[in-house]
Amino acid sequence: MHRHLIDLESYSTPVLERILARAMDIRRAPQAYAHACEGKILATLFYEPSTRTQMSFQTAMLRLGGRTIGFDNPLNSSVAKGENLKDTITVVSGYADLIAMRNPLEGSAFAAGLYAGCPLINAGDGGHLHPTQTLTDLVTLKVYKGGLQGLTIGLCGDLKNGRTVHSLIKTMCRFGAKFVLISTRGLTLPQYLKDFMNASGCSFRECFRLEDAIGELDVLYMTRIQRERFDSPEQYEKERRVYCLDRQKMKRARQNLIVLHPLPRVDEIEIAVDEDERAKYFEQAMCGVYARMSLLIDMLENDREEPSPIHPLSMAPACPNARCIVNHEPYLPCSFTQAGDILICDYCEERLLR
């Protein structure tokens, strides 16, 4: 079992700081790293659409002197012939030194990690987590806010399905962030993340109107309504276009606010806002290359073995989350961590009462 990046929670703060510090150094002097991954191969396995994540991983590896293989459309791979995740990962990890994988099923990164013979990076597992976007966001905050401590962060849009938001919250709780959760009732943050914030003593409030919150924020993190996670087009239509950041709303914001967005933008930020010097989402996408360069170096330097993360229970129940990979790939062992009366699925973090 290799050291993987499934969830940044498994990274201690000193390790996180080490990766961020190197990303900052790469940003200052990229040439010094031009041969850091020479002779290494990164496989990018993208079972879901991507522009930035996939291309920034590829760019990162190429700029470090390494090479890449992979697919961006599983229909062009043996997945189209019915190959399961276990077999694909087992084989590809023999070809590559590192794997970055994105998959629409929640918990798929944890599942892939069980079979990967090389370190594996979660590049997005359904609506669950997206840890390398969080590394990107943290580098951006360091560059444009000068640090991570004590920021008031507004998260606006699809907080239910937005994996970037879920990962960001889990990590920023360590740095004393205050959150304002701006969403409709239908797209509020999952309860497990509110519990997480409460348990880590992190303060948050929920509100509906962006204009009511924008004036108090250091960072506004806009997100797209995640159309592909809705059960019906009607439900999506009901939720879209509720939020649009425009010049009018920007007038209420502080002069030192920064606006972030993991991108792609659909209609939640007016194009004219791009000209506002507080809009930093394109710079953020560039920070993603430095963050991923640093992560690739770190993972190749520190490829130590770890014990199996599986916790099989006797009489294990099934995970109640229909989007969890264990309900789609039947060979996967169910695995739960027990917390009092509650069982937490090790793949997707769904909770159930024992």
List of residues contacting ligand NCD (CB under 6 A): 52-53, 124, 130, 133, 163-164, 224, 262-264
Angle between helices 85-95 and 108-115 (to 10 degrees): 60
Q: How far is CA 283 from the centre of its chain?
A: 18
- The minimum distance between CB 14 and ligand NCD, in angstroms, equals 26
Min separation Cβ 268 and ligand NCD, Å? 10
Contact 339, 351 (CB under 8 A): no
Q: Which is nearer to ligand NCD, 227 or 311 (CB)?
A: 227
Question: Distance between CA atoms of 61 and 141, rounded to whole angstroms?
Answer: 23
Q: Which is nearer to ligand NCD, 227 or 252 (CB)?
A: 227
CA distance 121 to 112: 10
Output the DSSP codes for 275-306: GSTTB-HHHHHHHHHHHHHHHHHHHHHT--B-
- Report the candidate in 239, 233, 109, 219 with the shortest Cα–Cα distance to residue 169: 219
Strands ordered across the beta sheet of 67-71: 67-71, 41-46, 98-103, 120-125
- Complex with ligand NCD: residue 50 or 321, whichever CB lies closer: 50
Q: Tell me whether residue 164 or residue 335 sits nearer to ligand NCD (CB atom).
A: 164
The nearest distance, CB 220 to ligand NCD, in angstroms, is: 16
Task: Tell me the two tokens of residue 160.
Answer: 């239910």
Residue 163 C-beta: closest distance to ligand NCD, Å: 5
Closer residue to ligand NCD (CB): 168 or 334:
168
Least distance (Å) from ligand NCD to the CB of residue 290?
Answer: 15
